[in-house]
Structure 1
Amino acid sequence: MSLAPTVSSRGSVRATFVAAYSAVTLAQITNALPGALNGTFAVEFRTSGAGLTWIAGMFMMGIVVFELSWGLLGDLFGRKKLLYAGALVSVAGSVLAALAVNTEMMIAAQAVGGIGAGILFPISLSMIAAITPDHRERAKVIATWAGFLSLGAVISPVLAGLTSQAFTVEGTAAGAPNIFSGWRVAYYIAAAIAVAVLVIAIKAKDSAAAEGRKLDMPGQITLALGLIAILFATVQAVDAGFGSAEVITSYVAGALLLAAFIVIEKRTRQPLIHLSLFKNRAYSITGIVAVTGMFAFLAVCFSTSVAVGGLALAEAWKVGVLFVFIQGPAFAFIPVVGWLIHHVAPRWVLTAGFAFMAVSAFWLSNIPLGTPEAFGGAPWTAFIPPLLLLGIGFALTVGSITAVAINTVPPQHIGMASATTNLLRDLGFALGPVIGSAIAFGVGASAFAGSLAGILGGAGLPAEAVAGLSHVPPLGYLSGWDGVVAQFSGQAAAGGAPAQAVDGMVNAVASVQQQIQGVAGTSLGQGFQTVYFVAGIAAVLSAVLTLFINSRPSAPTPDAVAETTEANAEAVTA
């Protein structure tokens, strides 16, 4: 456990609590907003599979790659300063997202917003822990902090759905999107909350714990760049394929950087991660489960957002309602899970939670996807029961992972074990949409290719025209039909085809538009059904692995109890 922090005599205790609780609610609202809007982004931005994946995964990347350092910087330079920084960055990220008119702008906004949330999560928790020296009282305020975090997860999809429904207006005369309407209002509201956090924080108490703390810059840089390279390679593989030069190069660079990180951590006196933790078999298993289990959870969330919002064309408020069923149990079951962790062996809670998630994923894999409800597709309400099971499973697992991890190590390693487990858990979250996209769009493209060639050939298009249209992935035909046809006609004309022949080919393609889009939707639906199935396997694997964890709780000293409570609350930052 770290040395006792120094707390400023200036400022208000009440303002500190209000600022911290508001900050963590804000961070989770901005964290969860893209999940409810992925389908909307796919349609409005006409994005590719890789682009959609970057939107979904970039926010989590901003959290994962720096999360071990933000808390340390707060200890060194003062947590109030870091809270200001996090709120300011969140304002910038939210405003950029609201102003985004294309995929690239939204990806940049997500990167900024992820950094802001990555600062607010640990800093808000450490601020209230510092002003609550009594262990019993600290447990209560940390539980309240976790409750506000969960509240943000519930507010976010509702906010996305309501603003999309209530503030939607037509675009400008030139056809550009209206940047003051629809889902964009949700981001303006998030920016307003961030400004309120800044104002409240002015009267908050500052605290720090600089003694004995030092930033491991070589370790932070190699870890951040290594993770970014690996995630970049996986995202680019969605469109470029795993055999492309840039993907292979990025994987090699990522592996070398992570190997350098391991060497650095073994030699430095104050590492970001104590690698000796992984010599403990039980802790190593918990680390694996943290990645595979949370990958399963977010892969299901991402697939649901795209399948319901992007393929089935359901309104954003319906997607928001579905995400309430996913996120709601984590808020509603806080007292239940807290009781279970303290009265039942946490590994059994963990196993049960992953079992719920597995049932949910396998159930969803059997729901037909890719056809709008208006054309006979599955109704959006069919997703509610399995997603409720997913939410219950998530509520049981997200805190229990850290509880099991810290019960497998000596008391003096509890803090590091908690931080490392949180990093692995958040890595699993980041991998969910990244690997899920690679699977969904890869399977979808394979299923679509043969059908598209048959449709175009049947419409009388020559072989070279079929080849020119076959390179477009199925999502392109769903979200950017006019652009695909315009690009094809331009290429045909540039290739020397007579204008009359080009017009004939365009008309032939237009005559089978509905057929092509129908096959594109069902092909991608098969891809996302595969993602659900893979997520189910990952959840089963996680449930089975937890059965082999023989956790031996540490001696319940006051410090260990306080660290355990704080670690459980930190785990909810999912």
Structure 2
Amino acid sequence: MTLTQELSLADAQGRRVGWRGWAALVVLMLPVLLVSVDNTVLSFALPSIALDLEPTSTQQLWIIDAYPLVLAGLLVTMGTLGDRFGRRRMLLVGAVGFAAVSALAAFAPTAAWLIAARAAMGVFGAMLMPSTLSLLRSIFTDRDQRRLAIAVWASMFSAGSALGPIVGGVLLEHFSWGSVFLMAVPVLVPLLILAPLLVPESRDPHPGRIDPISIALSMATMIPVVYGIKELAVHGFGVSAWLPVLAGLGFGVVFVRRQLRAKSPMLDMRLFRQGTFSGALLVNLLSVIALVGFLFFVAQHLQLVVGLSPMHAGLALVPGLAMMIVAGLAVVPIAKKWPARIVVPVALVFSLAGYLAVAFATGPDSLGALVGAFVALGIGIGAAETVSNELVLASAPPAKAGAASAVSETAYELGAVLGTTVLGGILTALYRAELVIPDGIPDAAADAARETLAGAVQVAGDVGGSAGMALQEAAAHAFDAGVTVTALIGAGLVVLAGVIAATTLGGSRSTS
């Protein structure tokens, strides 16, 4: 049976679910909420972490990237293992581990400790995310219901992002930054209780044998490539950058060839022959890069340049995050009437306008412009992500839902890594190039100021007087100069996503 025949049969056999299916959806939103809250909270906690643990600029990027890097390397493996051993079982194991490691991260005494804890969180996070999306694919076999369920799934990321700055801001104003990691415990406990009662187990009825070589190759492909891109962004095009990328690409070629020859491949490469599947993945990737890159620099700008507290900085982004949720749900009926090759590019026009506004909204008086820019960005990302995520799942047979979900999540997490690494790395490099240290700043303090904007703000406070004020103004100017260039690059990524959507997602409208 061809892949197209499998998909047609799956849609034809779809049955509408009752209250139990929607209750299961609510339970599955808990880990999605947790991951999205964790990402946003960390962006807003980063200035506090930087002041407390005093990481270098490279360590600061690793604090954010260690989690999605490890997660991206393991998602395909965990999705495939979930297909074989049970997606609900994998979800529960991941929940227990994620909660335990989050508690350890909360009390990290050094930057290295926190990076290690974030990496361990990535291992268990890789068990959580493919399970949620693949379970939705197995529960909601009717495509109309599935489209709505995935819209809720995608919107929960936005809801978590909206909740994260508010809850995180309150925690950061009353407790240490470690409190943001402890939120995982009360979120995951209800999941452990309710999932066995409401979420049905599902797996591939005809799983292939476990292939340790393919598992190793998938990790050897993802991790070196992402690491090399990180090195490229931070240190330039040297051996430490291009050698890991080449090694990862080489392992990737071997992985693909092995999957094409295998009778029961770990990842069905036939999925990538569909323009809709591959195009939707690329739209996801580029959209997340744009979103995470924006959050990386706007969180620092609002707190360290505009001067807002963490809570008020979070509240400033709530309108945009709320519009992301609204757009994700509102696009569902639109996607039934109009093809994705039109809906997604039109949605991304809003994101493009938001990034262009950011490019010219710098300085301490830029709060209103940034809020409006993020509203526009949120509308575009919310609608585009809902449509593209639904297309990824609709393009996969139900038995391979875990593997397809893992590929989708890999694109998401890779986008999160690249958003911080590439856009954050470019911003860091531009900040260093633009920063002019004023007279009266000791050499050791000047080195700290060049590392990060948070370091410069701390040094300015320690030095005080006219020299400290001059340093803070110079650092803010250098940072905003970097934001302008970085925002224009983000706008280019949004344009590229729109072009890909317009040329690959044709014929993807469904009326089933």
Question: Would you call these one fold, judging by a TM-score over 0.5?
Answer: yes
Specify the SS of the correspondent of 2:504.
coil
Paired residues of 1:59 and 1:113 also in contact (CA < 8 A) = yes
Is the CA contact (8 Å cut-off) linking 1:411 and 1:555 kept in structure 2? Answer: no
Q: Within 2, Cα distance between the matches of 1:84 and 1:402? A: 23
Describe the superposition over 1:471-509 as per-residue Cα deviations: whole angstroms up to 9, x where unpaired. 6562357427889999xxxxxxxxxxxxxxxxxxxx9x9
* 1:399 alignment partner, SS class: helix
- Mapped to 2, the partners of 1:133 and 1:276 lie a distance apart of 21
Question: In 1, Cα distance between the equivalents of 2:284 and 2:277?
Answer: 10
1:235 to 230, 234, 256: 230
In structure 2, the residue matched to 1:218 is 213
Partner of 1:151: 159
What is the identity, as a one-letter code, of the residue corresponding to 2:496? Answer: L
Alignment of 1:130-529 (within 5 A): 130=138, 144-146=152-154, 148-165=156-173, 167=174, 181-204=175-198, 207-214=201-208, 215-237=210-232, 239=234, 241-279=235-273, 284-369=278-363, 377-403=364-390, 420-448=407-435, 451-452=436-437, 455-456=438-439, 474-476=450-452, 478-479=454-455, 512-529=467-484
Q: Which of 69, 82, 102 is the equivalent residue of 2:77?
A: 69
The whole-number CA distance in structure 2 between the counterparts of 1:410 and 1:27 is: 24
The runs of 5 or more residues in structure 2 that have no matched partner are 1-5, 11-19
Distance 2:305 2:365 in 1: 11
Q: Which amino acid in the other structure matches residue 57 of structure 1?
A: D
* CA deviation map 1:448-479 (0-9, x unaligned): 2xx33xx44xx5x9xxx96x777656235742
Counterparts of 1:225 and 1:446 in 2: how far apart (Å)? 34
What is the distance in 1 between the residues matched to 2:282 and 2:24? 36
Classify the secondary structure of the residue corresponding to 2:183.
Answer: helix
Counterpart contact for 2:276–2:508, Cα < 8 Å = no
State the distance in 2 between where 1:103 and 1:534 align: 30
Q: Secondary structure at the match of 1:548?
A: helix
Name the CA distance, whole Å, in 2 between partners of 1:183 and 1:134.
Answer: 43
Cα gap change, 1:280/1:423 in structure 2, threshold over 3 Å: closer, same or farther? same
Q: Decide whether the 8 Å contact of 1:278 with 1:284 is kept in 2.
A: yes
Cα deviation digits, residues 5-28 of structure 1 (max 9, x gap)? xxxxxxx98985554333333333
Quick one: structure 1 residues 276 and 385, their matched pair in 2 at CA, closer, same or farther if it must change by over 3 Å?
same
Q: Deviations over 1:134-164 (max 9, x none)?
A: 6666666555555545433332222111222
- Name the counterpart of 1:122: 130
Counterpart CA distance in 1 for 2:320 and 2:33 is: 17
How many angstroms does 1:261 deviate by? 2.4
Query: Could you tell me how far apart the structure 1 residues matched to 2:509 and 2:306 are?
Result: 50
Task: Indicate conservation of the 8 Å contact 2:345/2:499, yes or no.
Answer: yes
RMSD (Å) for aligned C-alpha atoms: 3.8
Change (3 A) 1:114 1:305: farther
Matched residues in 1 for 2:21 and 2:390: separation?
A: 29
Letter in 2 for 1:443: L
Q: Which runs of 5+ in 1 are unaligned?
A: 5-11, 168-180, 370-376, 487-506, 562-574
Relative to its length, the structure with more helix (as a share) is: 2
Shift of 1:390: 0.7
SS at match of 1:209: coil
SS at match of 2:223: helix
Of all paired residues, the percent bearing the same amino acid is 18
Number of corresponding residues: 495
Alpha-carbon distance, 1:414 to partner: 9.3
Q: Which stretch has the larger CA shift, 307-316 or 410-419?
A: 410-419
